[in-house]
Amino acid sequence: MPERIVTTDDVRLWSEDLGDPAGSPLLLIAGGNQSSQAWPREFVDLLTAEGLRVVRYDHRDTGRSTTRDFARHPYGYTELSRDPVAVLDAHGIGAAHVVAMSMGTVMGQLLALDHPERLLSLTLMLGGGLDVDFDGNIERAFNGQPSVDGLPLPQQPLLDALALMSEPAEGRDAVLDLRVRRSKLFSGDKVPFGADDFRRWEEQAADHAGTVEEPVAHHRLASHPRERAAELARVQVATQVIQALEDPISPPPHGSHLAGLIPGARLVEIPGMGHALPRSVHPPLAEAITAHIRTAARS
């Protein structure tokens, strides 16, 4: 499990390189306020078993990467989207297949616009189009206001999960219990959840970071550059969009809307999947990713 510290701008990013060093490279980009551990090792193992060289990393202000006072060291999606390029450089990878989830889908779209030569293929999952006002939609959902773009707003499980974050929790066990409860809300009840799995993954994430306190810096990011959505019409990278059919944050048809912004993008729907990665969705998710990679490699 080769670990590597990547220096970019004035921050240090923790990363690791898994699988066959000679395999086709795959970079995983996690969601907001998530470290590399948001990609469960059991899921990563399914990808490396296909011969892939998998690289995952901690976003700045998460895990073992540089953590600072955001007010004194602010940044935006432009800086965040330079980080995966720096990770590829540090690992000696010219171009890679990229899989991005949740907030990472914004970064994936910006990579396709600004660094297309670094992408062998792109998979976007659990997220929406660059033109979607995500922050505004959460506020509208809280206030009971209608959608302004015709797409569905975030649903009640997200609002419940955000409310859960304000509940008091003292001590490591109580905090981890709360985090598992939140993951259950995100995951939904259409597929087996696996509370023991999530408890173990949350423990691993806390141990990896050296603290049970969760990152919050990405909640303070300014809105992503929605004005750049029109540029997606010129993207030529082989793109796949994975729509989790029970995703409470970006419910259908957000996936098809995103796919429609990128020429030739393929939409894959995973029944029962919410905004989480329980073990029950690992096989279909890994199969969708590896199938897309194989297709892109042949083209």
The set of catalytic residues is: 102, 247, 275
Taking alpha carbons only, the member of 168, 192, 164 closest to residue 179 is: 164
Beta strand ranges found along 86-194 (DSSP E): 96-101, 119-125
Distance separating alpha carbons of residues 294 and 297, to the nearest angstrom:
5
Beta strand ranges found along the chain (DSSP E): 3-8, 11-19, 25-29, 53-57, 96-101, 119-125, 239-244, 266-270
Residue 130, C-beta contacts closer than 8 angstroms, at least 6 positions apart:
106, 109, 110, 224, 225, 226, 228, 229, 232, 261
Taking alpha carbons only, the member of 194, 176, 221 closest to residue 276 is: 194
**Residues for the chain: how many in total?**
299
With tokens 């793109």, the residue in question is 239
Taking alpha carbons only, the member of 56, 55, 61 closest to residue 37 is: 56
